[in-house]
């Protein structure tokens, strides 16, 4: 019953925020980085944040979530608050990064750090290396999810997918809470989006996936690679794009439209088509994790698949 209630809350809040944004002219203007051509209300991620917070509190009150995981996830609200003001006033990238870094350090302290990183044939247990990796993972997941949030339904469908497969693999209620918190918003953000998520939603969602990755990696070291594989569609695109832009001599903070999903829309693909193909690709990535016992083989196969997909995107719209 709680899941249905949360879907309704997310749905109604998104609608109310949409109507308020239209009335107050809180509209995402079209610029050089936009994949949209029509000014559209933004801030729909507020509905996700509120619904997610209600769900988290419910889980905590019913003792249905580990206290350390609850505390670490709760710190994501700080990320959302900062992103909310960034949506309104465009805060400096340095200030955002400082706050994200402090939150990442706080979350690592709560989780007890990252105990080890296994590579199958050897394992890294040096706390400096493992925690530096964990810190960078949190900050990168926060920002890359924001970078990837550019077309209708793309980030929303990704997080519903991660919530569902997380529940299938680990059987924990917080994954369903995540999925339903996004699902109500996704109705309004699907084909011909009526409202955008904004930084307030995307940064929190990226943070949540980072926390899940580290929390479950501490339970079983190979879980790190399971989550990295499940989330690989996003981090692969964001990371490869960043590397290619650096090789081109571009500034990391410079606006661009060079992510794979953006180049596909430039090649004539509709937002609907790109998002639907992304969903299908995610299903294949999940199948690799679910059906292949050796997680490292699944991870390598996922990289090979994503490389092939990236080359296909290059053939549709050259990276330049």
Which tens digits make up the pLDDT trace of 23-34?
A: 866 666 655 555
**Structural domain spans, the chain:** 2-316
What pTM did the predictor assign? 0.93
DSSP state of 118: E
CA terminus-to-terminus distance, the chain: 50
Which tens digits make up the pLDDT trace of 82-139?
A: 998 887 788 888 999 999 999 999 999 999 999 999 987 888 999 999 999 999 999 9
Q: At what angle do helices 45-61 and 2-23 cross, to 10 degrees?
A: 150
How many angstroms separate the CA atoms of 240 and 244, rounded? 6
Asked if residue 22 lies in contact with residue 196, where contact means CB atoms within 8 angstroms, the answer is no
Helix (H) / strand (E) element for 119: namely: none
Nearest residue to 34 via CA among 261, 317, 275: 261
The better pLDDT of the pair 104, 150 is held by 104
SS3 content of the chain, % helix, strand, coil (to 5): 70, 0, 25
Nearest residue to 151 via CA among 269, 312, 19: 269
How many angstroms separate the CA atoms of 111 and 131, rounded? 11
């Amino acid at each position: 019953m709680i899941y249905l209630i949360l879907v309704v809350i997310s749905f109604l809040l998104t609608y109310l925020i949409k109507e308020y944004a239209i009335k107050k002219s809180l509209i995402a203007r079209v610029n050089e980085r936009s994949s949209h051509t029509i000014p559209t209300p933004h801030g729909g991620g507020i509905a996700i944040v509120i619904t997610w917070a209600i769900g988290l509190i419910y889980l905590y009150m019913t003792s249905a979530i580990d206290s350390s995981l609850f505390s670490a996830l709760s710190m994501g609200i700080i990320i959302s608050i900062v992103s909310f003001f960034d949506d309104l006033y465009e805060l400096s990238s340095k200030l955002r990064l400082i706050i994200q870094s402090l939150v990442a350090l706080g979350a690592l302290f709560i989780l007890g750090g990252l105990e080890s990183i296994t590579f199958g044939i050897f394992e890294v247990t040096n706390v400096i290396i493992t925690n530096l990796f964990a810190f960078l993972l949190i900050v990168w997941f926060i920002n890359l999810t924001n970078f990837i949030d550019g077309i209708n339904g793309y980030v929303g469908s990704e997080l519903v997918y991660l919530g569902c497969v997380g529940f299938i693999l680990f059987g924990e209620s917080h994954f369903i809470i995540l999925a339903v918190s996004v699902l109500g918003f996704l109705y309004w953000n699907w084909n011909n989006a009526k409202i955008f998520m904004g930084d307030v939603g995307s940064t929190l969602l990226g943070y949540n996936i980072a926390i899940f990755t580290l929390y479950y990696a501490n339970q079983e070291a190979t879980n790190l690679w399971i989550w990295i594989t499940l989330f690989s569609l996003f981090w692969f695109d964001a990371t490869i794009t960043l590397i290619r832009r650096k090789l081109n001599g571009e500034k990391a903070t410079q606006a661009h439209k060079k992510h794979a999903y953006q180049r596909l829309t430039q090649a004539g693909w509709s937002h609907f088509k790109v998002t639907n193909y992304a969903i299908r690709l995610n299903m294949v990535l999940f199948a690799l994790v679910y059906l292949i016992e050796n997680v490292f083989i699944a991870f390598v196969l996922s990289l090979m698949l994503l490389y092939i997909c990236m080359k296909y995107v290059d053939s549709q719209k050259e990276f330049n």
